[in-house]
Amino acid sequence: MKAPGFPKNSPAALAVALMLAVAGCSVGPAPGPPASSPAPSDTPPSATGSGTTDVTPPASSGGALQPFDQAALEQTFKETARELRVPGAVMLLRTPGGTATYTYGVRSVGGDDPVTPADHVRIGSITKTWTTTVILQLVQEKKIKLDDPVAAYRPDVPDGANITIEQLLTMRSGLYNYTEDLEVNKVLDTDPGKVWTTDELLAAAFRHPPYFAPGEGFHYSNTNTVLLGLIAEALDGKPLSSAFRDRLFTPLGLSGSVFPDQASNAIPEPHPQGYMYGNNVLTLDDPALPEDMQKAAAEGTLKPVDQTAMNASWAWSAGSGISTAADLATWAEALGGGKVLGPELQKLRLDSPRPVKADDPGGALYGLGIAKFGQLFGHTGELPGFNSFAGHDPANKVTLVVWTNLAPTPDGRDPVTTIARTLIGKVYQ
């Protein structure tokens, strides 16, 4: 479960490499100043983050929208899903020229029950955008400041006096990502139903030295978002699930979104089963299976493992959320369009993404709990069995949501990354 860094695939990698790869679908210069995951968007990337390393943006003649071609979009989506051999996939695209919702495949391997847009799926690191938005709302309410030291709220954090809230939000704290810890991944494989406490997650992180001094680099770390979730609970005086409900779900009408209790491994009906090949330890350093296993998967003699019942408490505020395609589209539009923050802080947030690699200004961008993929603001998510992407381009009014019930593919690709890149190439020119 590595996390970006770029994480590989395990419950831990919550979405970062994914983020990098989708950034590669950038079509043309992204507007605005540059300011970036299973486990959970997110996370073991198997849990949430996962493992593709292709971050080279394809050549582009600009960022203009192409004419809306419904037949071509459907063909591209279904052909790509078929080539990736995912059991099921759903996409929802909204543009000024039209809206398209397509489904591919089935809810379970060997079954014939088709996936539907109404299905609930684990969204991995997209959960991070919920958590970080609550923190930014608390900033707006003057209950916390971006330049406050983490030690003011969590005195247990190593070097917390020199780490700011902003550095937690932007993944520049240097704190070790607990989902890259080998022992954590071993437990995820041997006891997938374990209910993790936040104390256990932080203890796994704090037994490792930091990657770098605060502010001196970028490393996607679920530890940052777990700390933000705990700080949000303390400042808001309520459980994080209640904060999400009161601040985000109810105001936006997100009736299909859930932040589950840590003891629960349930997904609301209807839902697909979620699958991965191999396990978290095997894919910790490289999301691709050994060649013999890839061959067996292609021949059908190696079957993916059903991870649906895994308890996602290990991802908590960094990646245990559940949602639907429609809710993710609504959320992406609120996130990118300014419906959850005031104008000043919204501008600060959208201006914040900057290169995660200083020597690659055209690569992935990450800011205040939000990533930028070409012209879309949003996030990716992955944890064992589920892969998702939600993004919105506020300038061109484009929204894209994709999810699959397999993560990653046997050759280490993130299915949603690949699908999103091909679709974005059909939307812009």
**Band of residue 358 on the pLDDT scale cut at 50, 70, 90:** confident
Q: Is 428 helix (H, G, I), strand (E, B) or coil?
A: strand
CA distance 111 to 115: 11
How confident is the model at residue 359, as a pLDDT?
Answer: 83
How confident is the model at residue 364, as a pLDDT?
Answer: 83
Q: Is the pLDDT of residue 11 over 60?
A: no
- Contact call for residues 325 and 401 (beta carbons, < 8 A): yes
**Band of residue 361 on the pLDDT scale cut at 50, 70, 90:** confident
**Band of residue 1 on the pLDDT scale cut at 50, 70, 90:** very low
pLDDT (tens digit, 9 = 90+) per residue, 191-208?
999 999 999 999 999 999
**Band of residue 363 on the pLDDT scale cut at 50, 70, 90:** confident
How confident is the model at residue 83, as a pLDDT?
Answer: 96
**Band of residue 357 on the pLDDT scale cut at 50, 70, 90:** confident
Q: Is the pLDDT of residue 34 over 50?
A: no
Q: Is the pLDDT of residue 121 over 60?
A: yes
Q: What is the mean pLDDT of residues 409-416?
A: 95
Q: What is the mean pLDDT of residues 344-354?
A: 98
Q: Which of 46-60, 89-103, 147-161, 276-290 has the lowest mean pLDDT?
A: 46-60
Q: Looking at residue 304, which CATH number applies to its domain?
A: 3.40.710.10
Q: What is the mean pLDDT of residues 162-181?
A: 98
How confident is the model at residue 14, as a pLDDT?
Answer: 39
Contact residues for 199 (Cβ-Cβ < 8 A; gap 6+):
none
Q: Is the pLDDT of residue 22 over 80?
A: no
Q: Is the pLDDT of residue 341 over 80?
A: yes
Q: Which structural domain range is residue 128 located in?
A: 16-427
For residue 181, what are its two tokens? 């810890």
User: Is 6 within the bounds of a domain?
Assistant: no
* Average per-residue pLDDT for the chain: 87
Alpha helices (runs of H) in 177-289, residue ranges in sequence order: 182-190, 198-206, 222-236, 240-244, 250-252
H-helix or E-strand containing 393? Answer: strand 386-393
Q: Which of 66-70, 165-169, 230-234 has the lowest mean pLDDT?
A: 66-70
User: Is 9 within the bounds of a domain?
Assistant: no
Q: Is the pLDDT of residue 60 over 60?
A: no
Say how many residues make up the chain: 429
How confident is the model at residue 10, as a pLDDT?
Answer: 45
> How many structural domains compose the chain?
1
Q: What is the mean pLDDT of residues 36-48?
A: 32
Q: What is the mean pLDDT of residues 342-354?
A: 98
H-helix or E-strand containing 373? Answer: strand 371-373
**Band of residue 37 on the pLDDT scale cut at 50, 70, 90:** very low
User: Is 3 within the bounds of a domain?
Assistant: no
Q: Is the pLDDT of residue 350 over 50?
A: yes
User: Is 422 within the bounds of a domain?
Assistant: yes
User: Is 5 within the bounds of a domain?
Assistant: no
How confident is the model at residue 403, as a pLDDT?
Answer: 98
User: Is 7 within the bounds of a domain?
Assistant: no
